[in-house]
Amino acid sequence: MKKIKRRKKTTKKLAREIRRSAKDTYKEKKRVEFLSSGCITLNLSLSGFGLKGGWARGRIINIVGDGSSGKTLLALELCFWFFNNIKKIVSKIYPKVKKFHICYDNVEGVMDFPIEKMYGEEFVKSVDFTRSPHFESMCRRFLKKVFSLKKGESLIYVIDSWDSFQSATSKKAFLKSVKDDEELKGDYDLVVQKYASRKFFPTFCDALDENKIDVTLVIISQVRDAIGVMFGKKQKRVGGKALDFYTHQVAWIKEIEKLTKIRRGKKWTYGIKSAVKVERSKVSKPFREADFTILYDYGLDNISSQIDFLWGKKTISFNKKKFTDRKDFIKHIEKNNLEDKLARHTEKVWHKIEAEFEDEVKERKDRY
C-alpha cells in the first residue's frame, strides 16, 4: 500500500512539473498578442483563440474584399474594441497603455456609417478621421505618428483604401493635364508600389523590430477581376508584391447573402452575412474560414455568428436549456451576461476540430 501511495505522489509531482514546464515554454514563446475583431468566430479564424484572439497587435494587417463585404466595418469594429479595452489589457510584450491614438485615413474623405449611433459620441471624438491628399503624404503622416510615440502609448492606423491613393507626381501630372486640356503624359502606375516596397514598409518594419513599438497598421484593399484567368483566383488584390511580403495577416472578405425579412408586405434587407478566409498568416494557421453577421446600424452580430457556427438552423442546446427560437436564445445570453460562457463553448468546439487534424499528424512516423 505504501508503495502505491508513493507512486501516486510521484506521478502527481511529475504532472505538476510538466504543467510548469509547459507554462514556462509558453512564456518564452510569447511573441505576439491580439486585438479582438469584436466577433469570436472571426477571432478564431484569425488567431486560433476566441476571447483572447483576433487581429495581430503591433503588426501589419490587410483586409481585402469587394465594396459590399464589410471591410470598413471590420476596421471600425477593431478600433471600437481597441478604444474600450486597450487600457485594461495586461500585456506580456508591451508596456501598460496610458494613452492611445486611433487614426482613420480615408481617401474618400467621408464616412457614411451612422457611427455615432453604432459606437457612441465618445468613440467618434477619439478617432482622428483624416484624408491624406496623396500616397506619399499618407506615408509621412503615419511614420511621423509612429516616431513620436512614447513609452506607454499605442496606435492603430487604418488606411482605407490602399489602392485608392495616387502618388503625388501622378496627381500633379493629372491636374496639369486637366488645366492644359492635354492628354496625360508618362506612366505613373508603379510609383506607389515602388515607394511602398523600397521606402515605406522597410522603414516601418525597422521600427516594429522586436516589438519595440505598439503600432498596428490596418490596410484595406479592394479586389479586382483577374482578366483572362483560367486557373486559380478570378479576383486579385491591387497593391503589388509588397503587400504579400510585409503583411502578417491577410483576410479576404466576401458577402455570402443579404439578410431579409418581410415587413408590411415588403421585402426589407436588414443586414448581410459575410465570410472570411485567412489567406496569409504569420501568427497562426492560415486558410481558416468563418462566417460572420453584420446588422445595419448595429455592426458585427457576435452571438448570431456563433449560433451559425455551433448549431446552424438546428435546435440550440446550451447551458442545459434548449431554444428553438434564435431571438429567445440571444435575449437569454444578453440578459444573463453569458457572452463569455458562450465564447468559451465556441472556442472549445473549434479546438476539438483542430485537434482531430493534429491527431492525424501525431499518428505519422517521426521524420527525425
Asked, for residue 287, whether it belongs to a domain, the answer is yes
Look at residues 28, 27, 49 and name the one whose alpha carbon lies nearest to residue 40.
Answer: 49
Helix/strand/coil for 149: coil
| Phi, psi of 70, deg, nearest 5 | 110, 20
Asked if 128 and 101 count as a contact pair (C-beta separation under 8 A), the reply is yes
Q: Which of 99, 123, 64, 101 is nearest to 280 (CA)?
A: 64
Residue 240 has pLDDT above 50, yes or no: yes
pLDDT at res. 148: 96
Structural domain contains residue 36: yes
Mean pLDDT (whole number) for 130-141? 94
Radius of gyration of the chain (CA): 24
Residue 232, pLDDT > 70, answer: no
Which among 224, 225, 217 has a CA at the least distance from the CA of 243?
A: 217
Cα separation of 307 and 321, whole Å? 14
Domain that holds residue 286: 32-301
pLDDT digits (tens, 9 = 90+) for 11-30: 555 555 555 544 544 444 57
Question: Would 339 be classed as within a structural domain?
Answer: no
In this structure, is residue 3 part of a structural domain? no
CATH number at residue 183: 3.40.50.300
Q: Please give the pLDDT value at position 209.
A: 87
Judge contact between 276 and 42, C-beta under 8 A. yes
Number of domains in the chain: 1
Contact predicate 156/88, CB 8 Å = no
- Determine the pLDDT at residue 203: 95
CB atoms within 10 A of CB 360: 9
Task: Report the predicted TM-score, pTM, of the whole model to 2 decimal places.
Answer: 0.86
| Average pLDDT for 166-180 | 84
3-state SS assignment for residue 272: strand
pLDDT above 90 (res 4): no
Whether 331 maps to a domain, the answer reads no
What distance in Å separates the CA atoms of residue 67 and residue 225, rounded to the nearest whole number? 13
CA distance 321 to 53: 28
pLDDT band for position 362 (cuts 50, 70, 90):
confident
- For residue 60, what are the β-bridge partners? 217
Q: If you average pLDDT over residues 264-281, what whole number do you get?
A: 94
Would residue 85 count as lying in a domain?
yes
CA atoms within 13 A on the CB side of 320: 0
Asked whether residue 319 is assigned to any structural domain, the reply reads no
Confidence of residue 169 (pLDDT cuts 50, 70, 90): confident
CA distances from 129 to 25, 145, 163 (A): 42, 14, 18
Q: Which of 29, 11, 39 is nearest to 306 (CA)?
A: 39
The pLDDT score that the predictor gives to residue 34 is: 97
The residues facing 278 across adjacent strands are: 251
- Say whether 38 sits in a helix, a strand or coil: coil
- Whether residue 190 lies inside any domain: the answer is yes
pLDDT at residue number 101: 98
Q: Give the per-residue pLDDT at 231.
A: 41
Residues 167-193 as b/e (b if ≥16 CB within 10 A, e otherwise) read: bbbbbebeeeeeeeeeeeeeebeebbb
Cell 466577433 sits on residue: 39
